[in-house]
Amino acid sequence: MTKKAIIRISIFYIIGIALSNVFRFDLLNLNNYELSVYGLFLISLLGAIGLLIGALISLHLLKKERKLSYSLFGSSRKWSSVMLIIPVILLGVFGVDNRYDLNPHSYGIIGAVSTLIYCFFEEIGWRGYLQDELQPVKEWQRVLLIGFLWYLWHLSFISNQNFIDNIQFLGWMIFGSWGIGKVIDLTKSIIAATCFHMIINVMMFNSLMKNGIDGDSKLIIIGVTVVAWIFIMIIWIKEKKTIAPHYSQSKTT
């Protein structure tokens, strides 16, 4: 890696880990206030705000050096948008029980949108910026580095010092870096990466919905969503392959 790349990564990560964890660990004691459901959603988004800001700064610097590999919608605005809509509809249909006496179906939609925005903030950082920055590095090295930095960013070892739990969490972050990394490489879409990140979030960590969906409903939502996304990506990639030769041929004639 070049010296400029190391500086950009340092800017991204220092801002990401410092600013985000002010809100993730509630250092401002915002949770002591009587928050509405919308206040709760806002605080949850602030937990990834450092990654967003750090990534935008570093992406701006990287863009001055070379063309970026990924974009918001990647190679298909249509399929990126369809992927976004599916979990919102499913969570709205099944509903999410909550302590705010909000209609479960309305809460499901709001929770889905809020979770997608949060995951988008993270994905702008981990895949949209960092994976792009590390393109010159071998894939296995890139996956391990992103996975480790992703794990370290959570600072989970502060609240849970169990060695096995932390090794398992690190393993999940490395596996997620590999899987979501493949998604964004195939689609060039930060939104597509965001969607798969959301599934990990809903399965394991989501404080907005984890107690509001019963196990069977969660499995159905996740199963239908993932199958639909994989089907969409198969069509997406086939369309991309058929369009590319046609585009190349039209440029030569």
Judge residue 22's burial from the number of C-beta atoms within 10 Å of its C-beta, 0-12 exposed, 13-18 middle, 19 or more buried. Answer: middle
State pLDDT tens for residues 97-147.
Answer: 988 888 999 999 998 999 999 999 999 999 999 999 999 999 999 999 999
pLDDT averaged over every residue in the chain: 90
pLDDT band at 211 (very low <50, low <70, confident <90, very high): confident
- Identity of residue 177: S
- CA end-to-end span of the chain, whole Å? 40
CA distance 35 to 57: 31
Which is it for the CA torsion 191, 197, 199, 205, positive or negative?
Answer: negative
Average pLDDT over residues 210-217: 80
Closest CA to 128 of 3, 14, 16: 16
Average pLDDT over residues 230-242: 90
| Tokens read off for 204 | 């394991």
pTM to 2 decimal places: 0.89
CA distance 42 to 217: 26
Average pLDDT over residues 18-35: 84
| Tokens read off for 163 | 């060695």
Query: What pLDDT shows up at residue 248?
Result: 43
Domain spans in the chain, listed from the N-terminal domain onward = 3-247
